[in-house]
Structure 1
Amino acid sequence: MENRAPTPPLSTAAQHRRRILWQIWVPLAGVLLLFVALAVWGALTASRDPLQGTHWASISLIFLILPNLLFGLLGLVLLVLLIYGVSQLLGWLPVQSLRLRAAMYRLSAWLLQVANRSARPFIQARSWRAAAAALIRGLTPTAKR
């Protein structure tokens, strides 16, 4: 029997490098090789028959333009809906803001009345007290200087 020393576990940095290699670089290289192989295959098949290459180029162009066309159409529909919504809002908003302004004026007048009614007893009490103090001062003789 052979007694081997146990291998030390990999450090975390080494584990990280190994995972990056297998999880990022190897799949990326595989995809790049696949694209290069497809490009070479396309170039070789297009050089044999130019009409077939033109045919596939037209089909590819349609598939490249179609998503842009759909997103452009979606943007156009969204723009038309926003224009319609703003025009409706411009017709509705002034009427509602006028109603809100009238309601705020009524609320302001009501609050002013409530404030005046709640302050009236205090003002009246101070007024009576001041009148009584003036009456007392008027009735009592003061020393002339």
Structure 2
Amino acid sequence: MGKPIETFSKKEREKKKFKKQLDKKDKAEDRKANSNKGKSLEDMMAYIDENGNITTTPPDPNKKKTMNAEDIQIGIPRQEYLAPADPVRKGIVAFYNESKGYGFIKDLATQESIFVHANGLTEAIQENDKVTFETEQGAKGLNAIKVKK
């Protein structure tokens, strides 16, 4: 049997493979030389100063503050029950179309525009009338109901 023929491309592939192995060994030796393992505990410690910033210097014991554990709030505090605000609001009719049976009332307290339909009226209204009303949540927002002059 004859000796296998080595082609140029075969030699190049072997050279690249050998070079990769050498690079890999060099990187491994470099990692070992510059590793962070084996540092002392003091070198690995980090402290927080009075402003909440991380620092390498330990805090001054003279500036130490004591706190009660009960004073620390974790989570959201429970909401206290609030009595519902007066449901009757006051406003001015900004727009009302009698033929179509709808309009808008501008709330005097919040300056928001609230939709009103003819079904929510207790008496006839016109534009610029001062009215009192209650609100309910509709499909597209607040609707005025029980509208009176």
Instruction: Tell me if both proteins adopt one fold, taking TM over 0.5 as the criterion.
Output: no
TM-score by length of 2: 0.28
Which of the pair is proportionally richer in helix?
Answer: 1
TM-score by length of 1: 0.28
Which of the pair is proportionally richer in strand?
Answer: 2
Q: Rg bigger for which structure?
A: 1
